[in-house]
Amino acid sequence: MRGMWSSTLNSRGLMSDIPIAKNRRTSYENFVAVCPECGRDSIFNRASDLHTFEPIAGREVACLSGYCRKPFRIINDSVNNAHEMLIFDCYELIERKHYMNCILSLAQAYEVFFSFFFRVEFLYKPFRSAYRPTREEVEAALEETRSILFPLSNRLQLDNEFDW
C-alpha cells in the first residue's frame, strides 16, 4: 500500500513526492503523526520541534524515530483557538486518570481565553472603529500643538520655529 503522497518543492527547487503522515493527533503542545515509513508515532512539540504555534496546513518533517529519520509531510492541523485546544486535551487526561493535570489545563484554558479576550478588546477593537479626522481638524490640531510646543514662534506668528 503506497498511502498518500504530496508533491512539494525540494531544497534544489525541483518537484518531488513526499509521503503524508497517516494519522495525526494534535494538542495544545504537540502534533503527533504516524510515520508512513516505519509506522511509529513522531511527537513534534510545537515550541521546540516546529518552532511555531500557528496551525500547520502542510509541512515537511523528518521521522523522530532513531533508525528511520525518513521525511514525510504533516497536514491538517487543528485550527481551534489555544483555549479550546487546552479543553480538548482534557479528555485524554481524564482517560489516563491525570485528574490534577486536567484541572490545571482547565485553569490554563481560562487564562489563555481571558488573555485573548483582553488583547481583542483593548488592542484590536479600538482600531477597528478609529476616528477619521478631516483636513480642517488636522490643521487645527497641528496649530494647537505648535502653540504648545513652540510658544514663542506662535506668539510672534512666525511660520517656523527656526526663525526666532
Q: With contact defined as beta carbons under 8 Å apart, do 133 and 144 qualify?
A: no
Q: Give me the least distance between CB of 82 and Zn ion, in Å please.
A: 29
- The CA distances from residue 155 to 49, 120, 152, in Å, are 64, 44, 5
156/85 Cα distance (integer angstroms): 65
Q: Give me the least distance between CB of 72 and Zn ion, in Å please.
A: 8
Residue 83: CB atoms within 10 A of its CB come to 20
Q: Give me the least distance between CB of 15 and Zn ion, in Å please.
A: 23
7/25 Cα distance (integer angstroms): 23
Cβ-based nearer residue to Zn ion, 26 or 42? 42
Cβ-based nearer residue to Zn ion, 67 or 124? 67
Cβ-based nearer residue to Zn ion, 1 or 123? 1
Q: Give me the least distance between CB of 4 and Zn ion, in Å please.
A: 15
Cβ-based nearer residue to Zn ion, 29 or 37? 37
Each as own residue / partner, the long-range contacts of residues 59-63 (CB below 8 Å, 24 or more positions apart, any chain) are: 60/8, 60/18, 61/33, 63/35, 63/37, 63/38
Which residue ranges make up the site for Zn ion (CB under 5 A)? 35, 37-38, 63, 65, 68
Cβ-based nearer residue to Zn ion, 38 or 43? 38
- The CA distances from residue 20 to 11, 31, 60, 99, 121, in Å, are 18, 14, 9, 34, 40
Q: Give me the least distance between CB of 39 and Zn ion, in Å please.
A: 7
